[in-house]
Structure formats: structure tokens, C-alpha cells
Amino acid sequence: MSYQDEEEQMGYHVDSFPKDFGYGAFEHESDSQTSSETKPRILLMGLRRSGKSSIQKVVFHKMSPNETLFLESTSKIVKDDINNSSFVQFQIWDFPGQIDFIDPNFDSDMIFGGCGALVFVIDAKDDYNEALTKFKNTVIKAYKVNPRIKFEVFIHKVDGISDDSKIECQRDIHQKATDDLSDAGLNQIHLSFHLTSIYDHSIFEAFSKVVQKLIPQLPTLENLLNILITNSGIEKAFLFDVVSKIYIATDCTPVDMQSYELCCDMIDVVIDLSSIYSSEETAFDNQSSSLIKLNNSTILYLREVNKFLALVCILREDNFNHQGVIDYNFLCFREAISQVFELRLKNRKLETLEEQDEEEEYKNAPITNGGTSVNTESTDNSILA
């Protein structure tokens, strides 16, 4: 069932972005769309009512946080395709809280096999001991099937909790979770912890970090951003996926929440205004840019990078005197990004051709060992790939 259908049935309203300003196929990719089976998966797991479906709806479907109060409990695995940019293509699987791994219908090889990241949501406002037990069992099971999974713990619903209590809660959960895993002989597993709430930007920030780990080109993107900021007098730059407002890369300077929030708000302003005053096609196109001067001599500057991505920078007003240099550097940056896309597309096409060749070779290989076709070369290649 698509989100649109669900939305109509439940009659809730989705704010901020117009409905048609959604994800779609990236035009360069139409001939090489990754099939949903091969897209990396992000699994959302955790106890019932911990907030999994709310996170998915708020981050990827623009549901306003208050509307999540009316979400019904999930009864079966809900798979959601995210095609937001050429770099970021994945599926999110939202699990029902009561799912039981001992159930013979739970095909753990299939579920954890193609999984890139497992997000385990723990309700910080609830007693979390039961959640930790479930977390331990989940990690043990998932790691056995696929040791490459990234394990991400969202200590969720931290709105209305004081900063001290948040830190104490994170420390306690971190300690207990790592102790549980070392008791199970799994010290080598790396866990990442995030304090999150759907009522502020923390959930977008945390999801940005989860998604970034699934982007193989991340170091290249970060490098390009570093080069851009050092040569343009920019303080901070984010490469945003415009629809979800998750940032897929930033430069190497530390991220502070306030700057991230400012940049998110800027995207909202730009998209909302241009959706009102321009046509559907031009709401976000290659002419899209915006400049906002703040009252503390700081400038926010947004430029379109491609159909799905925008660069949002924070810089001092004095440094903006050389706007020509900044704009020129930006064009070089945009060109470099498109080259990364092209390279990736070429590699994909090559991979597909190689796979086809291998299949052909395999079919034509001499038959030995009483009917079993043996072709060591192609087997080696497929392991390397």
C-alpha cells in the first residue's frame, strides 16, 4: 500500500511540502534504477509504541509530529522505498513491535541479509530494561546472519527531558547494552547511540548520520565540501537531500544543532515560497538559490546542486563581499558532484555487463563432474565483486 493510499484512508493532513514535491526517479537513473530487492535496507525495530512508525512518517513523509498520536500500531512489516537521490536509495522496513524472532515465519536470513543498518528505537520515557533484552537478542541474531550491519540505537522521545537526564540516560543505556553484548562474547560489535525526538531536529540529524554510513561516496563528498569551504571563506556547508532535509554530507568542522536547524528552516522557506509563487516544475530547479542575512552578520546561502540536492552554507557577511569567487567555486563543486554521479552510473553499467558476461560464460562452460558446470574464474570474480 502506498503512503498516499494510507493517507487518504486515515484522512490526516501532511504539512510543509506540497504532495507532488515528493521523491521520484532521478532522470539520469531511469535506465539503471536499482531494483528494490538490491537496495540497501534500513530496519526500524524496537518495542511496541517506542515510536518507529512515527519516525518514518515524520522524516520521510512530512507528517507533523502531533499527527503521530493517531498512528495505529503496526501489525505487519511495512516496506517503504526511498528514491530521494542518486546517492541515497534505500528501503525502510518498519517492524511491528511485537515481532518474535522465534517465530518460524520470521526469515532472519532474508531480513538481515540485505540489511545496511538496523535502527533500534528505545523509548527513553519508559522502563527500558525489556527493550535492552530485546535489543541484545536482535543484535545477536542479526550479527550472526550479517556481520556488516551497522547498529544504531535511537534513545527516543527525549523531548521534555532535561539535558542532564538525557546524558545520564544515554550513559546508562550505552553501558548496559555494551555489557550485555560482551557477556554474549560479542565485544567487537560497534554500536552508535543517538538522542532523538520527533518534536525537534534531532531525529533528522540522527537519520542523516545513519544514511551517510550507507553512502560509499561519502569521503569524496566530504572532501569536495572541505575544498569548497576553505577556498570560499565559508564557515559550514551541508549537502542536503531537499525532500527529507537529511544532510547526506558536510565538511569536517563539527556540526552544531543550531546551524543544522537554521539550514533546515531555510530549505522550508525556499520550497514553501517557491511552491506558492511558481509552477510545479520550477519549485526547485537549477535556478533555485536563496540568500538570507541574519542580524548577527551571518549569511545563509542556498544553491541547487541537482534535482534532489541543495548546498546550504553559513558564512560571515564580510566574506560574502567576494560573491563572484564563491559562485565560481560553487559551479566547480556542482560539476564535481555530477562527475561523481556519472562515474557511479558507469560503474553500475559495467557491473551489469560483467554480470551478463559471467552468466554467458557460465552457460557456455564445459560440463564436467557428471553434469556440474565448473568455472572457477567466474566464481572468483563474483566473490571479489
Ligand X SMILES: Nc1nc2c(ncn2[C@@H]2O[C@H](COP(=O)(O)OP(=O)(O)OP(=O)(O)O)[C@@H](O)[C@H]2O)c(=O)[nH]1
Tell me which residues touch ligand X (CB under 6 A).
46, 48-54, 68-69, 71, 73-74, 96-97, 156-157, 159, 197-199
Nearest distance in Å: CB 10, ligand X: 13
Rounded CA separation 153/140 (Å): 15
> Among residues 158 and 249, whose Cβ is nearest to ligand X?
158
Secondary structure E strands in the chain: 41-46, 78-83, 89-94, 115-123, 150-156, 191-196, 234-241, 246-250, 289-293, 298-304, 309-316, 367-368, 372-373
Contact call for residue 54 and Mg ion (CB under 5 A): no
Q: For residue 357, what is its C-alpha cell?
A: 558476461
53 contributes a contact to Mg ion by CB under 5 A: yes
The residue to which cell 562474547 is assigned: 185
Pick one of ligand X, Mg ion, none as the site partner of residue 116 (Cβ within 5 to 8 A by kind): none
- Shortest spacing between CB 201 and ligand X, in angstroms: 12
Backbone angles phi, psi at 206, to 5 degrees: -65, -45
Q: Which stretch binds Mg ion (CB under 5 A): 49-57, 150-158, 261-269, 372-380?
A: 49-57
Residues 340-369 that bind Mg ion (CB under 5 A): none
Q: How far is the CB of 192 from Mg ion (least distance, A)?
A: 22
Question: Which residues, listed in sequence order, are joined to residue 90 by a DSSP beta bridge?
Answer: 82
Within residues 73-102, the interface with Mg ion by CB under 5 A covers 74
* Closest of 74, 154, 151, 73 to residue 121, by C-alpha: 154
**Binding flag, residue 56, Mg ion (CB under 5 A):** no
Burial level of 346, CB count in 10 A (0-12/13-18/19+)?
exposed
**In Å, how far are 45, 83, 86, 375, 380 from 91, measured between CA atoms?**
14, 9, 14, 34, 29
Q: What is the DSSP string of 18-51?
A: -TTSS----GGGGGGPPPTTTS-EEEEEESTTSS
Residue 326 interaction partner, one of ligand X, Mg ion, none, beta carbon < 5-8 Å per kind: none
Burial (Cβ within 10 Å: 0-12, 13-18, ≥19) of residue 1: exposed
Q: Which partner from the list Mg ion, ligand X, none does 54 bind, CB cut-off 5 to 8 Å by kind?
A: ligand X
Triad 86, 88, 90: Cα angle to 5°: 120
Q: Which stretch binds Mg ion (CB under 5 A): 45-53, 165-173, 327-335, 346-354?
A: 45-53
Q: Minimum distance between the CB of residue 164 and Mg ion, rounded to whole angstroms?
A: 30
Q: Tell the smallest beta-carbon distance from residue 49 to ligand X (Å).
A: 4
Q: Which does 199 bind (CB under 5 to 8 A by kind): Mg ion, ligand X, none?
A: ligand X
Q: Pseudo-torsion of CA 81, 11, 120, 213, nearest 10°? A: 40
- Identify which of residues 207 and 320 has a Cβ nearer to ligand X in the complex: 207
Position with the least CB separation from ligand X? 97
Shortest distance, position 103 Cβ to ligand X, whole Å: 15
Q: Residue 99 burial (CB < 10 Å; 0-12/13-18/19+)? A: middle
Rounded Cα–Cα distance for residues 39 and 282 (Å): 29
At its nearest, how many Å lie between Mg ion and the CB of residue 52? 5
Residue 69: which of Mg ion, ligand X, none does it interact with, CB under 5 to 8 A by kind? ligand X
Nearest to 174 by CA among 164, 182, 162, 185: 182
Q: How far is the CB of 130 from ligand X (least distance, A)?
A: 13
Q: How far is the CB of 355 from ligand X (least distance, A)?
A: 38
Nearest Cα residue to 348 out of 241, 244, 216: 216
236 binds, among Mg ion, ligand X, none (CB under 5 to 8 A by kind): none
- Using the contact rule CB under 5 A, the part of the chain among 47-55, 131-139, 292-300, 366-374 near Mg ion is 47-55
Residue 197 binding partner per list ligand X, Mg ion, none, with a CB distance cut-off of 5 to 8 Å that depends on partner kind: ligand X
Residue 46 or 116: the one with the smaller Cβ distance to Mg ion is 46
Among Mg ion, ligand X, none, partner that 49 touches (CB below 5 to 8 angstroms by kind): ligand X
Whole-angstrom distance, CA of residue 350 vs CA of residue 344: 10
Using the minimum distance from each CB to Mg ion, give the nearer residue, 196 or 232.
196
Binding site for Mg ion (CB under 5 A): 52-53, 74
